[in-house]
Amino acid sequence: MAQQRNFWIPVMCGAVILTIGIGARQSFGIFQKPIAADLNVGRELWSFSNALALLLMGVFAPFAGNLADRFGTARTVGAGSALYVAGMLMIGLIGLFLDFLIRQLELFDEVKWGYSQRN
């Protein structure tokens, strides 16, 4: 009986981890229209980005499994969680980054045109 109980502990932990990870992504469907309206994008682009994220999770799952075998499950889950949080922060700050990038490109364009007019 003790060995069967030990078998179910990692299974339940894995189920909780998947529920949290996948559930966070799947809950975006409820808020799809307000998020798409706030970002000024169509729901097609928003749906495509979510579908692409799920496909990439499937593509990289074998590599994550290899890392878990090599470095241990706890370290792999911790590193994956940190990367997931970093990605979510980057998504939240992308408007600021794009604004910064556009302003830098505009500055470069002004410098380029100013230089070419002088020569």
Are both 51 and 8 inside the same structural domain? yes
Residue-number span of the structural domain to which 29 is assigned: 1-71
Are both 8 and 59 inside the same structural domain? yes
| Boundary (domain end) residue, out of 54, 71, 88 | 71
Are both 66 and 32 inside the same structural domain? yes
In the chain the beta strands, taken as DSSP E runs, fall at: none
Are both 53 and 83 inside the same structural domain? no
Q: Which two tokens stand for residue 80?
A: 């994956």
Total number of domains constituting the chain: 2
Are both 114 and 86 inside the same structural domain? yes
- How many other CB atoms sit within 10 Å of the CB of residue 29? 11
Are both 66 and 82 inside the same structural domain? no
pLDDT by position in tens, the chain (length 119):
556 668 888 888 888 888 887 776 667 677 777 877 877 777 777 778 778 877 888 898 899 889 999 999 889 988 988 988 887 787 777 767 677 677 767 766 655 555 545 54
pTM of the model: 0.49
